[in-house]
């Protein structure tokens, strides 16, 4: 019996296809990262010529990107994680299959990179989850084991998890993300598939760009490994701020008051352009720090110990919210990490701490947990990204407490956004048929 399974042509056929799909996710993640870096590099060159460029690129760029998204790439708007979550649900049906079309993944990558060039505060990690789910789903149609909906959903789950692993170079976080966020119950038959996809996607990404730690290896003193009153204050603040950001996002997506609401309903591309104008204004007021993914700013805080203005965190959060509400492809994970780093640094400076680095690391974990209400994922992502395994206890406390506080303020962000795709009378995004 064992030998028959080992020699089964069908089993090896499916296994090889899964390996190829996982490798494709890793390659796509690297390509997406290169596109994002290129776009941000081009924007920096424009800013070097004149700081006024975003006043043109952001409003007109957001206008065009939003129109293209809804005209040709519907389903590519926003983060991509809600789309992946909805597609995993048994009741998703035709709408779920539409969200996993290859054209959606292609459009998401191209338009998200364009959004970064225009000055949007956009993360690429959430969109990479969606791209990973699309790639594996596309390959699954050729696999015998994917003939049932349950097995197909298991493969989509594996693709999304592989996207996290490849985007952050955090394989363990990919597995935890699959358990905690993409699927609320982790089926046994999905575990091996997910593990295989995560490992192979990570291996391919490392083969292409080398082994690295996302935020380097910041120096943290022994005091940063301990528990203190300041830690609890930071966790409470991050949970409150993250929950408020989630609630603001959900409330704004559901309904905007007055003239803004009418503008989004009747002239949504113009509304996107107005959001772009707000993003340009925030960037101009903060010396360009709110443009892009936020990686450079967070890295400067925890690796170079640069002290940014107190206004950085709220300005980055506002720019991220406007970028998301515009209807363009815009992830939230990387900007949330950057907001958390800025918030942690501000609290450390306010409390007279010797070093802001451990607080920035804990702030990243706390704010991300507050936004996503996924404490394990937040803990593992930050721990793997910064190689701070010795900080596991303060990170655990921060993630757990921030999540608890966030739940008092807001319902789960991604799950609630995913529900909109299944609402019978509430399409997930406005029809951009008017301008």
Give the DSSP per-residue string, 56-95: HHHHHHHHHHHHHHHHH-TT-SB-SHHHHHHHHSTT-HHH
Which tens digit of pLDDT belongs to each residue from 31-44? 999 999 999 999 99
State both tokens at 133: 């789910």
Is the pLDDT at 430 greater than 50? The verdict is: no
Phi, psi of 73 (to 5 degrees): -130, 45
pLDDT of res. 277: 97
Q: What is the mean pLDDT of residues 111-120?
A: 96
CA pseudo-torsion sign 300, 291, 69, 253: positive
* Alpha carbon distance 96, 375 (integer Å): 27
Percent of the chain with pLDDT over 90: 50
**Quick one: pLDDT band at residue 223, thresholds 50, 70, 90?**
low
Is the pLDDT at 242 greater than 80? The verdict is: yes
Is the pLDDT at 246 greater than 80? The verdict is: yes
Cα Dmax for the chain: 70
Angle between helices 54-72 and 102-118 (to 10 degrees): 170
* Alpha carbon distance 409, 37 (integer Å): 35
pLDDT of res. 154: 78
Phi, psi of 329 (to 5 degrees): -60, 120
Residue 91 CB neighbours (<10 A) = 8
pLDDT of res. 225: 55
pLDDT of res. 69: 94
What pTM was estimated for this model as a whole?
A: 0.88
Q: What is the mean pLDDT of residues 86-110?
A: 90
10-209: CATH topology: Clc chloride channel (1.10.3080)
pLDDT of res. 272: 96
Would the CATH topology of 10-209 be identical to that of 222-420? yes
Q: What is the mean pLDDT of residues 161-165?
A: 83
pLDDT of res. 427: 42
Q: Which of 69-83, 171-185, 274-288, 377-391 shows the highest mean pLDDT? A: 274-288
Domain layout of the chain by residue ranges: 10-209, 222-420
What is the architecture of the domain spanning 222-420? Answer: Orthogonal Bundle (1.10)
Residue 65 CB neighbours (<10 A) = 31
């Amino acid at each position: 019996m064992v030998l028959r399974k080992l020699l089964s042509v069908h089993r090896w056929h499916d296994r090889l296809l899964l390996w190829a799909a996982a490798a494709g996710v890793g390659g796509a993640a690297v390509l997406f990262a290169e596109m994002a870096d290129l776009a941000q590099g081009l924007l920096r060159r424009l800013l070097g010529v004149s700081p006024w460029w975003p006043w043109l690129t952001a409003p007109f760029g957001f206008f065009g990107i939003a129109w293209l998204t809804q005209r040709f790439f519907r389903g590519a708007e926003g983060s991509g994680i809600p789309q992946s979550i909805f597609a995993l649900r048994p009741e998703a049906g035709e709408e779920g299959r539409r969200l996993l079309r290859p054209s959606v993944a292609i459009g998401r990558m191209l338009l998200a990179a364009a959004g970064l060039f225009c000055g949007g505060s956009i993360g690429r990690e959430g969109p990479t989850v969606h791209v990973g789910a699309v790639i594996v789903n596309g390959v699954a149609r050729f696999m015998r084991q994917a003939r049932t909906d349950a097995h197909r959903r298991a493969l989509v789950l594996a693709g999304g998890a592989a996207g996290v692993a490849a985007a952050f170079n955090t394989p363990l976080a990919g597995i935890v993300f699959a358990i905690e966020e993409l699927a609320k119950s982790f089926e046994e038959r999905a575990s091996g598939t997910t593990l295989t996809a995560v490992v192979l996607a990570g291996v391919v990404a490392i083969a292409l760009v080398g082994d690295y730690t996302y935020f380097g290896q910041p120096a943290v003193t022994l005091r940063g490994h301990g528990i203190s009153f300041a830690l609890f204050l930071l966790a409470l603040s991050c949970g409150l701020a993250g929950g408020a950001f989630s609630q603001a996002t959900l409330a704004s997506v559901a309904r905007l008051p007055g003239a803004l609401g009418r503008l989004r309903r009747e002239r949504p591309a113009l509304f996107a352009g107005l959001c772009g104008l707000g993003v340009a204004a925030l960037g101009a007021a903060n010396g360009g720090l709110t443009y892009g993914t936020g990686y450079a700013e967070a890295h400067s805080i925890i690796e170079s110990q640069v002290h940014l203005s107190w206004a950085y965190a709220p300005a980055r959060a506002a720019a991220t919210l406007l970028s998301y509400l515009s209807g363009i492809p815009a992830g939230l994970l990387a900007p949330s990490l950057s907001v958390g780093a800025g918030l942690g640094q501000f609290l450390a400076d306010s409390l007279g701490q010797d070093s802001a680095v451990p607080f920035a690391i804990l702030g990243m974990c706390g704010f991300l947990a507050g936004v996503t209400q996924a404490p394990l994922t937040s803990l593992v992502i930050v721990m793997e990204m910064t190689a701070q395994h010795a900080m596991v206890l303060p990170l655990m406390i921060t993630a757990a407490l921030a999540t608890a506080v966030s739940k008092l303020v807001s319902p789960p962000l991604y799950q609630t956004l995913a529900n909109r795709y299944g609402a019978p009378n509430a399409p997930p995004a406005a029809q951009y048929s008017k301008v």
